[in-house]
């Protein structure tokens, strides 16, 4: 049973999501320092992965009686050369202040990684448990990337 489908169409210089003109985004290759670059596949994948994993984290946390309200997921997608071609790899950081212990944090993140349909064998995703726990133990703003 299908739950939801979205369609994105890429043409020269833009991508349109679900055929809506208001969701057309400029796309191109990264250049310079990256501050004014248009969207590119790596940025789109990082956004999709962070969003999907965050939803999976919310489901996992709720099922294990952990409050997910202030949670944050950060994803980084990297295009690299591999075996004469290209490969994509990703890394994620998970901030889940509602997990009171490292064991609970591990249980929730393990389940979220299992639930997330964008994590699989074709695009390896690395989860840095130590960095995640360091963010977890940081008690600053809800988004650890803001300090």
The chain-wide mean pLDDT, for the chain, equals 82
For the chain, give the percent of residues with pLDDT over 90.
Answer: 39
pLDDT over threshold 50, residue 146:
no
CB count within 10 Å of CB 139 equals 7
pLDDT of res. 128: 83
Enumerate residues 6+ apart whose C-beta is below 8 A from 29: 37, 40
75 closest CA partner among 59, 88, 66: 88
Q: How many Cβ atoms from other residues are within 10 Å of residue 16's Cβ?
A: 16
pTM of the model as a whole: 0.77
Q: How far apart are alpha carbons 90 and 66 in whole angstroms?
A: 26
Query: Sheet containing 125-127: which strands, arranged edge to edge?
Result: 72-82, 85-95, 125-127
Distance CA 56, CA 52 (A): 6
Closest CA to 18 of 4, 8, 26: 8
- Phi then psi dihedrals of residue 119, to 5 deg: -105, 120
């Amino acid at each position: 049973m299908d739950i939801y489908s979205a369609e994105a169409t890429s043409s020269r210089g833009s991508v349109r999501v679900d055929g809506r003109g208001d969701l057309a985004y400029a796309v191109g290759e990264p250049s310079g320092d990256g501050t004014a670059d248009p969207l590119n596949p790596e940025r789109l994948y990082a956004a999709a992965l962070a969003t999907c994993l965050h939803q999976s984290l919310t489901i996992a946390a709720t099922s294990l009686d952990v409050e997910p309200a202030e949670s944050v997921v950060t994803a980084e997608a990297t295009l690299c050369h591999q075996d004469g071609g290209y490969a994509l790899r990703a890394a994620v950081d998970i901030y889940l202040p509602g997990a009171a212990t490292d064991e609970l944090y591990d249980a929730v993140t393990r389940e979220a990684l299992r639930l997330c349909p964008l994590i699989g064998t074709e695009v390896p995703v690395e989860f840095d448990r130590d960095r995640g726990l360091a963010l977890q133990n940081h008690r600053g703003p809800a988004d650890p990337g803001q300090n």
